[in-house]
Amino acid sequence: MTDLLYWLQGPVPETAPPKVEMPPWGETKVVGKPLPRVDAYERVSGSAVYPLDFALPDMLHAAILRCPRAHAVVKSVDTSAAEKMPGVRAVITGKTPGADIPWFRGRGKWFSKLFDERARYEGDEVAAVAAETRAQAYDALKAIKVEYEELAFVLDPREALESDAPLIHEGTNRYGDPADYARGDVAAGFAAADAVVEGTYSTACEIHSPMEVHGSVVKWDGNRLTVWDTTQGVFEVQEAVAQSLKLPLANVRVIGHYMGGGFGSKLEAGKYTVIAALLAKTTARPVKLFLSREEEFLASGNRPANTMTVKVGAKKDGTLTAIEFSSIGSGGAYPNGASTSFLATDLYTCPNVKARDENVAINAGRARAMRAPGFPQGAWALEQAMDALAIKLGMDPVALRLANVPKASQRRGNQPYTSTGLAECLRDGAKAFGWSEARKRPKGDGPVRKGVGVASALWGYGGGPPATVVVKLYADGSVNVNTGAADIGTGTKTVMAQVVAEELGVPVEKIQIEHADTGTTQYSGPSGGSKTVPSDMPAARAAAIEVRNKLLAGAAEDLKLPFEELRLEGPDVVSAKDPSKKVAVTAVKALERHQVLVGVGTRGPNVEGKVISMFATHFAEVEVNTRTGEVTVTRLLAAQDSARVMNRLTFECQVQGGLVMGLGLGRTEERVLDRQTGKMCNANWHDYKIPTALDVPAEQKVLSVDLVDTECNTAGAKGVGEPATIPTAAAIANAVHDAVGVRVHDSPITPPRLVALLSGRGKKG
């Protein structure tokens, strides 16, 4: 799995197996229910304090000067005028003592610095200012005089591999050798096929665009640093900041309570935090540094553009015989992942598979993990190819997929999945969508044609250790839950309260969550990879069971009954044999004596020899205006296999959001780089189009196939965040093909692109 999780570098840490028995849940009372979020009121009323809202007395405001060119040597930086500007308290550059800090590590070496003398994309950091107000800081940036020596730049990964391409790093523009994968004999597989399709597909670069821009507020207290950060993982930020500033981990406290979206772009520490810390040290004042929306587009990460060639062969009955897949993408100016081949090698049963991923440096903003990194791109290519293959075979696209549902992960040594809900997603989804009827319906004979499409996916990471959760039951029966995990907007706190409520019989309202603070909570990995529920909920369950056991042991003493005979029922501990024998939880003497009962739950290892994956199938209905090329998505349905649904409401919210992001990939989102200057043309929310309420179909349905999986973990839940967005765009493209008979190989499906195809000017397939 390390090929997927390039953002998780080094060995995966572990926690000890839990100390308590945790038989699989059967029927649950609280888990699974559509409970509103425990912090819904705070979030909606605006009383929740996000890092962007956070202010400290005496705080300065900082801003970063970024290189306006795609590729340049920073010859000199003159800060003298800026230092004299009103309100300015500090200006720093790479030459400032303590600011010579390496940055962007990959493949065992550092690729840049906090302020590099070589700027490799429009947005690279050159200097920073702290001033009394934000406006004064931005004014001062304009007074910094920088002398640049412009260098030739390259924006396209294929051009970056040409022999005369400008070099972005030493020696080569490749980030490592091409990553090759093979099993079986692809040539023999294609020779044995009755039908073969081949095509080249591309996806545009997408920007994460979280509502809350990236940034931190920092404060020194002697040699201790406190950081309020908008982050998916406080411990990742702690580690990077401590390393950069050469501080012990114990001296860096990172707090990340609320955060306004990240989608992967907030899995790691940003330069802004370290820059703010340097400015705060120099000025002996707290410093707030948040990116502007424009900087967010340039320098906070992206889902890289990929160009993928896919060839698929099958027998008349739909049995796949061979898949060949190659992809070239770019981690950007600094290394990050750009591989997209995983689905092609693992989603369907196929004995002969060959895949190659190439990752090339270009002079543009660096990629960062973005919701299911690599997978929506891979699905765009593979699932359109599967659609074309179905048409060639004269098969229904759902039937073709059903003919190739895997029971084992072929990419991972043929280990069986703990559960495979792909067939259920296809069948139940098709039924709920009205697939067969919609497919047979006339397309229309006016300018507007209707069509439907389908696409599937898996997400191959089911969480695991480390995670530790502490549960405290207080003397008055209220409960405190303590976890290092961030709630990135998915409802982590709510689901964890439900887990604890389930085991302790305490109403959710009596449970308070302390979370995401390296100073006061236990280690948990970053909230990403759809792993928070499967990683942290088992630990929460173990902690709650430990508290329950302590409570029941205390009640057993008080009632002089055997421990095994006792049950928790609402506010009481009751004898299962004789319900008249009971004691109120708050009257249990052990609780009175200790004032608080504590349970420490850990996440044990995953089941050996098996693979945990989530599956999904999305269905789309579109109307295509053949005169204007406009596509209206009229219906979407997502059938998801995440095994247990922990909260029907937050689950549905996750999937609805995933569908909208998929709609963005398919229909509207595209980073546009100017070939003349190398600058981003649409670094704003007016020109970079993310779907709005008007773009979202009126009918968007979420279906969980509700498989029982007792092996994936002790919560029985596999996670949902990422699989909810992987196949959407491909399903929309397939629906467009169904409506008008042209295949849009390149995302997004814009009116000009589609009009060109409809008039025969683009490539068809």
Please report, as ranges, the residues that interact with ligand MOS according to CB under 6 A.
232, 263-264, 267, 369-371, 373, 528-529
Name the residue nearer to ligand MOS (CB basis): 137 or 267: 267
Least distance (Å) from ligand MOS to the CB of residue 7?
7
Task: Find, among 176, 275, 266, 180, the residue nearest to 218 by Cα.
Answer: 275
Least distance (Å) from ligand MOS to the CB of residue 686?
26
Q: Do residues 125 and 66 touch, judged by C-beta distance below 8 A?
A: yes
Name the residue nearer to ligand MOS (CB basis): 253 or 371: 371
Least distance (Å) from ligand MOS to the CB of residue 301?
10
- Between the CA of residue 139 and those of 78, 90, 218, 230, 326, what are the distances in Å? 15, 13, 22, 25, 48
Alpha-carbon distance of 48 to 55, in angstroms, equals 13
Least distance (Å) from ligand MOS to the CB of residue 372?
6
Least distance (Å) from ligand MOS to the CB of residue 349?
27
Name the residue nearer to ligand MOS (CB basis): 3 or 396: 3
Phi, psi of 421 (to 5 degrees): -95, 15
Alpha-carbon distance of 219 to 463, in angstroms, equals 34
Alpha-carbon distance of 84 to 612, in angstroms, equals 59
Cα dihedral 27, 29, 32, 33 sign? positive
Least distance (Å) from ligand MOS to the CB of residue 461?
8
Cis peptide before 466 (omega within 30 of 0): yes
- Can you read off the two tokens belonging to residue 531? 């792993």
Name the residue nearer to ligand MOS (CB basis): 157 or 525: 525
Least distance (Å) from ligand MOS to the CB of residue 625?
34
Least distance (Å) from ligand MOS to the CB of residue 84?
43
Beta-strand ranges (E) seen in 340-429 are 353-361, 408-409, 415-416
Name the residue nearer to ligand MOS (CB basis): 529 or 599: 529
Alpha carbon 714 to its chain centroid, in Å, reads: 23
Name the residue nearer to ligand MOS (CB basis): 231 or 625: 231
Least distance (Å) from ligand MOS to the CB of residue 371?
5
Measured at the CA of 658, the angle between CA 652 and CA 418, to 5 degrees, comes to 75
Alpha-carbon distance of 374 to 357, in angstroms, equals 10
Residue with smallest beta-carbon separation from ligand MOS: 264
Q: Are strands 415-416 and 408-409 parallel, antiparallel or unpaired?
A: antiparallel
Name the residue nearer to ligand MOS (CB basis): 552 or 712: 712
Q: Do residues 712 and 718 touch, judged by C-beta distance below 8 A?
A: yes
Q: Name the one residue in this structure whose structure tokens are 């507007």.
A: 448
Task: Find, among 270, 266, 271, the residue nearest to 231 by Cα.
Answer: 266
Alpha-carbon distance of 191 to 104, in angstroms, equals 45
Q: Do residues 375 and 343 touch, judged by C-beta distance below 8 A?
A: yes
Name the residue nearer to ligand MOS (CB basis): 234 or 573: 234
Reduce the DSSP state of residue 178 to 3 states and report it: coil
- Can you read off the two tokens belonging to residue 218? 């920092």
Name the residue nearer to ligand MOS (CB basis): 106 or 313: 106
Alpha-carbon distance of 117 to 67, in angstroms, equals 11
Name the residue nearer to ligand MOS (CB basis): 429 or 528: 528
Least distance (Å) from ligand MOS to the CB of residue 297?
18
Q: Do residues 603 and 541 touch, judged by C-beta distance below 8 A?
A: no
Name the residue nearer to ligand MOS (CB basis): 264 or 329: 264
Least distance (Å) from ligand MOS to the CB of residue 183?
27
Q: Tabulate helix, strand, coil % of the chain (nearest 5).
A: 30, 25, 45
Rg (CA), the chain: 27
Name the residue nearer to ligand MOS (CB basis): 369 or 385: 369
Alpha-carbon distance of 632 to 405, in angstroms, equals 31
Q: Name the one residue in this structure whose structure tokens are 């006061």.
A: 520
Q: Do residues 634 and 663 touch, judged by C-beta distance below 8 A?
A: no
Least distance (Å) from ligand MOS to the CB of residue 570?
38
Name the residue nearer to ligand MOS (CB basis): 451 or 723: 723
Least distance (Å) from ligand MOS to the CB of residue 650?
16
Least distance (Å) from ligand MOS to the CB of residue 264?
3
Name the residue nearer to ligand MOS (CB basis): 369 or 556: 369
Q: Name the one residue in this structure whose structure tokens are 């099958």.
A: 314
To 10 degrees, the CA torsion angle through 43, 45, 46, 47?
A: -90
Name the residue nearer to ligand MOS (CB basis): 72 or 370: 370
Least distance (Å) from ligand MOS to the CB of residue 453?
25
Kindly give, in sequence order, each residue whose CB lies less than 8 Å from that of residue 310, ignoring residues fewer than 6 positions away. Answer: 198, 199, 200, 201, 323, 324, 325, 344, 381, 382, 385
Alpha-carbon distance of 201 to 223, in angstroms, equals 53
Strand partners, 695: none
